[in-house]
Homo-oligomer: A and B are copies of this chain.
C-alpha cells in the first residue's frame, strides 16, 4: 500500500544517516535511545497513527466538534484514539522523566509526531496543548501545583488550553482586559472573555486546566502588568480529587474553513459565579513566561505544516502514478500514460518533494539542536546550540507553514478537477493547512520575532552562531567531489545572507524601523530557503558518500533521488533566493511612503 502520511524511508534517512541520532545515546540523558529503540518508537507511532488517529481525519472534518449547552462534544472515534494514546503514554514524550514524561530526545519525538500529526493534526492539537502549560508548571509551578497537575496532564487524564486572545487583543496581547482579583486565601477570582481558545472545552479528558493571561487588579497597564493563572474547569481538592464546576464556560465555537477536529471556543470566565484560579510563576511576568513555552509549540506547528504537506505529497504522488491521461510528448501513437511522466506534473512533484524533505530535515535538525544543547559538553557549545535553536524557531513555524500552504495547493492541482471535490483527500488538507499560518502567532508576528528580536539580541550572536554552523557544515562537504559547484553557490548565498542580516541590523540601528520591518517576512523567506537548500545539499552529500563506499546499496534510487532533488534546489530555487536577498538589500520604501488614501477603496 502506498504510504499516506510520511515516507518512512525518508524519516529513517534523516534520523540515522543525516543527523546520526543514535550519537545522542552516548550521553547519559539519552542512554536508552539506541537505534533499535528509536526505530521501535517511530514504528509504534506510525501504527498508532494509522490505526487510531488517521480514521478520525475525515470524521473530524465532516462531523467535527459539536457545541451544545456550553459543552463541546467530540465524535466517539476521538475518544477511542485518545484512549489508545493514553495506553501508549504519548502525551509528554519529550518531557523529562523526572517530571513524568518519557524523556525522549526531541529529534525522535519530532519523527514520532510526524506520523501522529499527519494522521489528524486537529485531534493531536489537545495533546500538544498539554506541553505548554506542563512546561510552565515544571519551570514556575509551586511544589503543590506540580503535585496536583503534572501527573494528570502528562498522562492525558486532564487536558489544557492556552487562553490568550481577546476580541481586541490578538497579535498584540499587551492591552488585554481579563482581570484577576486576589482572594484572602491567595487564589484569584478571574473575570473576562477570551476568543479563539483551541479546545476551550472537550469531552476527552476528566478535567481541563486553562492557562489564562490576565491582569491583577491594580497592576501596571501594558505588557508589564500581565500574569499567568491556572484555571481548572473543575476545581481541584487538596487531595487531587475533582471539586465543583468552576465558572469558566465555552459560549460558542467558531465555524471555520477547516481544522474542524479542533474546536475554537469563545470563553467566559466569572460570568455568572466565581471563576477561581491560582497564580503561576511571579506576578506581572506572564507574557515573558509564556514565551518560554512558545519554542516547543512553534516547533510543533512547523511539524504540523510539514506533516500535512508530506501527506499532500504522498496523495499526489500516488494519484500521478495511477491516473492515466495524455501521451508522452511527441509520441505519434498517442499511447495514454500515467501522468507522473508529464514534465509539468514532475515539476510539481519535485517541488513538493524538495520542500517536504527539506523542511523535514530542517525540523528534525532543529529538534536535534535542542537535544545537542541539552547534552552539550562545554558552556560555549551549549550556548551555540541554544542560539541556533532560538534563531530558527520562528523559521520552523512560519517558513514551513507558508510553504505547506503552497504544497497542499500544488497537491490539489495534480489531482485536477478531482482535487477540488471532497471525495478526494487533498481538499481537506488545503482547508486545514491554512490555519497554521495564522494561529500561535501569525507568520507576520514570527517574522518580526526573527528580524526584530532574534537577529538583534546579544549583539547579533544568534545569527552569527547560526551562520557559523552552516559554514562549518558546508566546509565538511568539500571532500565530496562533483558537488563543489553547489557548495560554492551555497557559500556565496550564506555570505549574502550575512550581508542582508547586517543591512537590516544597520537599518534598525539607524532608526528606520519601518523600512526594516517591511523586510521582516522577506528575510524569513530567505533564511528558510537557505535552510532548505543546506538540508538538501547535506542529504546529497550523504548520498554521494554512500555511493563512494562502493558497497552494494539495496535501494539506489532513493540515493540518486536525493542528488536530483538537491540539484533542482540549487539550480531552480537558490538563484531566486539570491535575487530576493538583493531586493532586501535594495530596501525599496514605497510601501511605507504611499499614503493610506492611495490604497483606494473609498
Contact = CB atoms under 8 A, between A and B. Distances in A.
B595 A170 contact: no
Interface in A546-578: 557-558, 560-561, 564-565, 567-568, 571-572, 575-576, 578
A601 B349 CA distance: 12
A577 B510 CA distance: 30
A340 interface: yes
Given A347-B591, A416-B170, A579-B578, A598 B564 contact: yes
A343 B601 contact: no
A423 B167 CA distance: 14
Nearest to A423: B255
A171 B416 contact: yes
Interface in A313-342: 313-314, 317-318, 321, 324-327, 329-330, 334, 336, 340, 342
Interface string A161-183: 00001001111101100000000
Interface stretch (A88-96, A138-146, A582-590): A582-590
Interface in A343-361: 343-350, 353
Contact of A600 (B168, B431, B561): B561
Contact of A518 (B259, B343, B430, B580): B343
A326 to B, nearest CB: 4
A9 interface: yes
Contacts of A10: 600
Given A571-B590, A601-B2, A171 B326 contact: yes
Contacts of A327: 172
**Which of A9, A172, A435 has the most C-beta atoms of chain B within 10 angstroms of its own C-beta?**
A172
A321 B413 contact: no
A543 B565 CA distance: 46
Contacts of A567: 588, 590
A175 B336 CA distance: 9
Contacts of A435: 420
Contacts of A588: 567-568, 571-572
Interface string A3-26: 100010110000000000000000
Contacts of A597: 557, 561
Contacts of A515: 343
Interface stretch (A102-110, A374-382, A441-449): A441-449
Interface string A238-259: 0000000000000000111101
A412 interface: yes
A430 B586 contact: no
Nearest to A334: B222
A420 B434 contact: yes
Contacts of A353: 599-600
A227 to B, nearest CB: 19
A113 to B, nearest CB: 20
Nearest to A414: B444
**Which of A317, A558, A596 has the most C-beta atoms of chain B within 10 angstroms of its own C-beta?**
A596
Contacts of A318: 601
Interface residues of A, number: 109
Contacts of A170: 325, 416-417
A120 interface: no
A602 interface: yes
Main secondary structure of the interface of A (DSSP, over half): helix
Given A324-B168, A583-B576, A409 B434 contact: yes
Contacts of A420: 254, 256-257, 259, 434-435, 438
A3 B601 contact: yes
A416 B430 contact: no
A34 interface: no
A165 B256 contact: no
Contact of A521 (B340, B344, B442): B344
B256 A598 contact: no
Nearest to A3: B601
Contacts of A264: 421
Nearest to A405: B409
Nearest to A259: B420
A304 interface: no
B343 A592 contact: yes
A174 B325 CA distance: 10
A437 interface: yes
A590 B572 CA distance: 10
Given A343-B517, A560-B598, 17 more contacts: A7-B601, A171-B325, A171-B416, A256-B421, A256-B427, A314-B601, A329-B513, A329-B514, A344-B518, A344-B520, A350-B590, A350-B594, A413-B444, A564-B590, A564-B591, A572-B586, A575-B582
30 contacts: A2-B601, A165-B417, A168-B324, A170-B325, A170-B417, A171-B325, A172-B326, A195-B417, A255-B421, A255-B423, A256-B422, A257-B422, A264-B421, A313-B601, A342-B517, A343-B514, A344-B518, A345-B444, A346-B594, A405-B409, A413-B443, A417-B438, A417-B439, A420-B438, A557-B598, A560-B595, A561-B595, A561-B600, A565-B594, A571-B586
Interface of A: 2-3, 7, 9-10, 165, 168-172, 174-175, 195-196, 222, 254-257, 259, 264, 313-314, 317-318, 321, 324-327, 329-330, 334, 336, 340, 342-350, 353, 405, 409, 412-413, 416-417, 419-423, 427, 430-431, 434-435, 437-439, 442-444, 447-448, 513-515, 517-518, 520-521, 557-558, 560-561, 564-565, 567-568, 571-572, 575-576, 578-580, 582-583, 586, 588, 590-602
